[in-house]
Structure 1
């Protein structure tokens, strides 16, 4: 279904009330996991709790730190160059140093912050687990380990417990970018032609997505091949579209930091019966996955619902470790829809449903939609892919 009117984008940024709510949730979960503080270095985690976003996150030269005590507001420990921008957020306690400084890149300031913490559990949670990373030199982190009286623990589970359930404001952002990109996918066959290159297709789609309100497009694999594609992770090439090609496009576009992540498939000129059959199969598998994503179910249940449709056709089995994931400030977030995964699906999670399979040796197809889990069941955020494979003539 075509979206004829341009969706009104939500107001950018979030209220102090929104950030206070996130902090209260964090404090509650920190008590649950017996943490005196969270020690955060990842851009997405810092942005989640502060609203702070800098282009300097793209540079590995300077570390950026956020400490969240279990009983206080966040404390930013950042390079001096970021002070003015951080002062525009709701964060009041901002401590800075001249960076880069190989001899002391904020470590003395961190010592001071940790020294002043109110000790209740004698532990600090850090980004040490799966889908987390420490954005600082290991040598510097080791100094903290050696000299701090608190024990550093892996806070991965606590952090994701805070972030995986989205607020209404977050959902509005994700819904907007999903709807905007859905409209661009729908109109794509009208603006591309046989003989154009993957790169030209990518440029046209990116322009339309930006014109529709997106801020950035960090992720856009564009791949084509006769009767299917051999991989789905490369950027576009100068290969020309030919009759009989399957064109696969995936995108992670953002609005105010929040991602959509879904793909579409198109046949160029014509499609073989086999390609049509696989497309139809994955459409049904996606439907099964969507319907299984209800509060109280597990992500393993979603995997089983999808996989049953695929296995019933006795084609080559899917060869990826999961069939969808969480979505938000990052392109991919927990949880994963994987075999025997017991992670409970909760109301207000945003998830991707992503069945894929290898139907011939070296020939892949993947479908993907984005959904919101409501108390009444799943709600599509993307506009559903056409039930029949679109043909571009």
Structure 2
């Protein structure tokens, strides 16, 4: 084991398990190695990250995960401390563009070091995967991707995404424990914020209450501190109740407002996405009715979640559950859920066409809405974080009531 790892992101056994599983996925998908430029994948496979979000090529770095040997990190000198004290990767190759005495001993070109490493490892004519799809945020630019393909013209460059998600969609017991505890704390954050909602309160202050609670519960971590959306509106404003995916504004909450919260903070790098709806004042019957339709259909769909059930089965169940309650409108978005983890939205998505079956270790955010066709009342769109177990499921956000939150 590598010495000096004083603040590991995860235990050595967890690291070894992830790398062994990665090698199995590489073999399954016929890849000799993955060239990873996403800081989220550095975090997942190697336990180091870019806390400053320095996506520019000035600090270009790459983690090489191989089928036949342990990982190699080719990194800018700025990441030396992180890798030395947080990561169990032993083969670390450092570069720096500077001639300063602190870094003058290192090669001064990332790509000279990177391509030299590829040659040394015997990978220059092998099948290499790179993150290419829409579900992974990568630091690699289009220009650099094309340059790598031209320079490694004897290699077969393909997408690594299927191999990555084949592994990352099944959470290890270590990950499951973090997400379970993070979900508990996130529910406390929402509850603390919702307790401040009442007429006369500034929407910004509701957000301040949420993030104060998040700080108290150790849920602020640069750069993965998440994004909490919470907003209110009423039918008499511009766009009426059709407010969605917005940050807070300098707006005074008034009686008759309605809204919801979405997404959430993170815990130890894992993002937490769930929703609850509120109304300010005595809620009209139609508001309650549509909220209850959404909640009942949501919980009925969640109830069928267990290993073997396909994503498309869940989607159809949600439509059937809504229709049974005389709500025959299509979903407002093309999915009713997605996987959850180091990213807020991970594949596979719960859509009408997705046939991937639920498996133990998956963490799925399920969200089903029912809205007022007259657009006077919001209705509801509850969302929960669900862990698939060996025999069924565990609702990790059930501690926050699904009832319409009535603020007075």
Instruction: Give the alignment's TM-score, normalised by structure 1.
Output: 0.91
1:31 corresponds to 2:27? yes
Instruction: Report the equivalent of 2:353.
Output: 340
Question: Which of 249, 252, 259 is the aligned partner of 2:271?
Answer: 259
1:196-207 equivalence runs, <5 A? 196-207=201-212
Structure 2: tracts of 5 or more residues without a match: 1-6, 100-107
Structure 1: tracts of 5 or more residues without a match: 1-10
Instruction: Report the equivalent of 1:331.
Output: 344
Instruction: Report the equivalent of 1:7.
Output: none
Deviation at residue 281 of structure 1 after TM alignment: 1.1
Instruction: Report the equivalent of 1:3.
Output: none
| Contact residue 55 and residue 139 of structure 2 kept, 8 A | no
Instruction: Report the equivalent of 2:135.
Output: 131
Deviations 1:311-367 (A, max 9, x none): 332354322011110011111111111112101211010110111244335565321
1:170 corresponds to 2:178? no
Deviations 1:38-84 (A, max 9, x none): 11011111100111023222543532211011111111111111112
Deviations 1:174-233 (A, max 9, x none): 111100111232344433331112111111111112212312443111211126731320
- 1:314–1:100 CA distance, 2 compared to 1 (3 A): farther
RMSD over equivalenced CA pairs, Å: 2.3
Deviation at residue 115 of structure 1 after TM alignment: 1.1
Instruction: Report the equivalent of 1:5.
Output: none
- 1:99–1:176 CA distance, 2 compared to 1 (3 A): farther
1:220 corresponds to 2:217? no
- 1:31–1:328 CA distance, 2 compared to 1 (3 A): same
- SS of structure 1 residue aligned to 2:262: strand
For residues 72 and 383 of structure 2, the distance between their equivalents in structure 1, rounded to whole angstroms, comes to 39
For residues 59 and 38 of structure 1, the distance between their equivalents in structure 2, rounded to whole angstroms, comes to 19
Deviations 1:220-273 (A, max 9, x none): 112111267313200111121111111311232111101111121111012111
Deviation at residue 120 of structure 1 after TM alignment: 11
Deviation at residue 105 of structure 1 after TM alignment: 5.3
For residues 71 and 231 of structure 1, the distance between their equivalents in structure 2, rounded to whole angstroms, comes to 51
Moved more, 339-348 or 208-217: 208-217
Instruction: Report the equivalent of 2:298.
Output: 286
For residues 333 and 39 of structure 1, the distance between their equivalents in structure 2, rounded to whole angstroms, comes to 20
Number of equivalenced pairs: 381
Instruction: Give the alignment's TM-score, normalised by structure 2.
Output: 0.87
1:368 corresponds to 2:378? no
Which 4+ runs in 1 deviate beyond 6 A? none
